[in-house]
Structure 1
Amino acid sequence: MLKSVGVLNVSIKYIYKYIHKGPDRVALELRNRQSCDEIQQYVDGRWICAPEALWRIYSFEFSRMYSSVIRLQIHLPNEQLIRYNPNQSLGDILADEDNSKTMLTEFFKMNSNPAMVEKYVYRDFPQYYAWIQSGKNWIRRRSQNKVVGRLYVVSPSEGDMFYLRILLNHVKGPSSFEKLRKVNGITYTTFKEAAEMGCLLQQDDYIRQCLQEAWSSNMPSSLRRLFVSILVFCQPT
């Protein structure tokens, strides 16, 4: 039964992929380089098969993405990436309030608002709030479309950044970096100590979560480097 299913899949592949292939020849034309039209070259060189032509004629959707994915910024205190004009002075850059606003800092700001009753972990926040890039702020999401939040992958070799990511994945409603480092009324100096005191590093679950998140987006070479970094820096049991 498995062999017949495999043959069926191959047959369907050949029906839709190879039966509409173009002829094995090339039309070549020599032109003066100065009169070269790159746009026209692209149009002339593109070949559309019959099924794709019908889909375009009838305006069918070629692809549809469900569950929009939002990449969430992560950084240590005052170590966020900023954009500035090279002609600006250092004082003007530091005085610009927009440079201090990121997805993470505004997430903290939203949680510090007493009117906000719901508390979410960082990765679940985009399901209920939308990030406005122009104003660099979060607003209540109006649509009912499902949105998935994904934090950028952080290697264990990056030190405190890795443990900050672990805390953001488990602590609900933090209002600052200091609140993330606070466990049972005690504020610890590093995110690693806070993760240890919060019983987030007692087992290898955080390592499994790291690998599970990485395998869906990283290439094999990156996965191998990540695995070696975990063996060297995390000392898994």
Structure 2
Amino acid sequence: MENGQCMRHFPKRFVASTMIDEDGYPVNRRKDDGKTITKSGVELDNRYVVPHNRKLLLKYGAHINVEWCNQSRSIKYLFKYVNKGHDCVTASFYRSATSVTDNDKCDEVSMYYDCRYISPCEASWRIFGYSIHYRNPSVVRLGFHLPGEQPVIFKDDENLDDVARKESVKESMFLGWFKANKKYAEARCLTGSTSYEQIKTIDGVVYSTFRGACYAYGLLADDKEYIDAIQEASHWGSGECLRRLYATLLFSNSMARPEHVWESTRRMLSDDILHRQRRLLNNQDEELWDLTLIEIKKLLKSYNKSLRDFPSMPFPNIDTSLIQIMNGGNNKLISDELRYDKQILTAEHEVYVKQLTKSKRELMKK
């Protein structure tokens, strides 16, 4: 009661049927059937009845208010109580009035402490060792790791060779999960994975990486935003700028399929290389891709990374001439000697080989 009125707005009004008001709250039916009951000298009718569930009242023997919730704010209300944590109390410490405090400095900050408050009921419950809470069914987070990279726990003074020889080194919760799936059919039906290879198998296709399997399963994005970003930057940025952007994306490990982004943007990434090398040499597309990958490889060195760290990415085919050119050796004489059409020379070679006599062909093979 507050100022002579009920804080919960009882008594309610009589309603012929249950309905939802304009704010989305239910208005329960309250019949005006003339039935009343006297409690503590007060006459009560249906307007004073609190929404309830008779089965819950009989089971728990307590006052339980039951309401119909249909708003998103109800979730916030529930989680607020579930995650609010334990009860707290602010305790203060002070000297008595009889103590000599003339020369003492009062540190008000250190005299107040935020402490956890445990009621007498909870304290006795913990003293007797009763269960505080339980979960049914029990759910435990499964830690995972790559093959042969399970965590190993050892003491500082232990010899590493002795630690490596322990049988427990080869065990982990994740590997035990594999064994349980192999042993128990029920567990296998729920999870299905009994080995690393089975995790990488989607619809009968065994993928070379776990990332590829996740992408096939629909757990990863398609990297379209990164392709769009490089395409947008290509309108105003140079090839060097685009390659630096791509190297940064590789280093951040944010792309689900870096090889797909490479295949979609390599023409833009090799823009200035295409002009420079075709002016210097008569390069073909495959050589241009190798030159572009070499440039990206050089940029990754600043991050202490290499293209070898990304197994799905192609690696350039580096021969002596490419190394000489990429190291800055743009010698005019060497460039003139290397400026030839490989396809034309290959066709001429095949024609000349056919014109050789049988003895000369055998001599050439030797």
TM-score range, shorter chain: 0.3 to 0.5
User: With structure 1 as the length reference, what TM-score do the two structures score?
Assistant: 0.39
Q: With a CA cutoff of 8 Å and minimum separation of 6, indicate the structure with the bigger relative contact order.
A: 1
User: With structure 2 as the length reference, what TM-score do the two structures score?
Assistant: 0.27
Larger C-alpha radius of gyration, 1 or 2?
Answer: 2
